[in-house]
Amino acid sequence: MTQPITSNRFFFYGIGLTSLFAAAGFLLAYVPYLATIGPLAIAILLAVGYRQFKGYPTQLNAGIIFSSKKLLRLAIILFGLKLNINVIFAEGLPLIGRDAAVVVFAIGLTMLFAKWFKADRSLSLLLGIGTGVCGASAIAAVSPILKAKEEDTAISAGIISIIGTLFAVSYTVIRPFLPIEMEAYGMWAGLSLHEVAHVALAGAPAGESGLAMALLAKLGRVFLLVPLTFFLIWLMQRKNAGHQEAKPAFPWFLLGFIGMSLFGSYILGIYVPAPQAVMDAVSFVTTFILTMAMVGLGLSVSLTDLKARAIKPLLAMALASVVLSVATYFIL
């Protein structure tokens, strides 16, 4: 009679552990120098470090898995609110065309470098998608489709958050020396940087018009996450044709992502009042839940097994990011 109660207790302890690491990541993000890295990357590093020194907390496994799987899907659904489809459609095909070119270029170039370096294909593909679309959020969305290992998902999210932060900080440093208008600079940041947070960080010093242009360009890339995921589903089904057990399950949470995007674009704020404070709170909760999910994945990472595989994909992704930055700058 007491076993279910004990199991339930450890289940909630597991969820509590991921929330504790997430909270620590958010608190440490207020520390100077750590602030630019962001809570997600900090929390992942804490979780990975805990695993290396303390081992995996087996008793809390059920709660940790709940965070890494169920909460991950909830975070992706809520992330849809950040995508204003109406604004993207208003800008028309030129914006979508540029963003699509960036996505294809980033993924293709990362995989090309990965082939040259003989890097791990799974990690490289996740990093390429994160570079081309929207960082850790894109990695989290496509991982179930690609049947990526949990440790690959976690380490990819951590790498792209850290490298993306370095790029964003570099943009703010060189911005005063660039011979371009603030709107053009914002477009460059939105087309080439990895995550929405990185774009906001780099675009803020360019003023309201520069930041608005940066976020607009970035939102176009976020929008392309939807057709990209369906393309990957088709690709995986074609690859595994004849192997019914290997076919990827349809990621139903993506329908939630699309639904929340439509709700946020055409209903929220028009028919349903949405004070800015409420939207800020939803954005915070979304990021916190995603961080909890990434902590759950981070706890599964064994650096001993992974470090040899991660170096070459990291190098491929970093070089692809440099080329992407240069190429998008000269096509403005």
Rounded to an integer, the average pLDDT of 77-94 is: 81
* pLDDT at residue 4 is higher than 60: no
Res 2: pLDDT: 45
* pLDDT at residue 248 is higher than 60: no
Res 272: pLDDT: 74
| Tally of CB atoms within 10 A around 189 | 32
Res 254: pLDDT: 82
Sorted by where each begins, the domain ranges of the chain are 82-293+302-330
* pLDDT at residue 113 is higher than 50: yes
Count CA atoms closer than 13 A to 56's CA, side-chain side: 16
Tens-digit pLDDT profile for residues 257-291: 989 988 888 888 677 777 888 888 998 999 999 99
* pLDDT at residue 127 is higher than 90: yes
Residue 314 — pLDDT band, cuts 50, 70, 90? very high
Single-letter amino acid code for the residue at 45: L
Considering just the CA atoms, what is the radius of gyration of the chain in Å?
Answer: 20
Single-letter amino acid code for the residue at 216: L
* pLDDT at residue 301 is higher than 50: yes
Res 239: pLDDT: 80
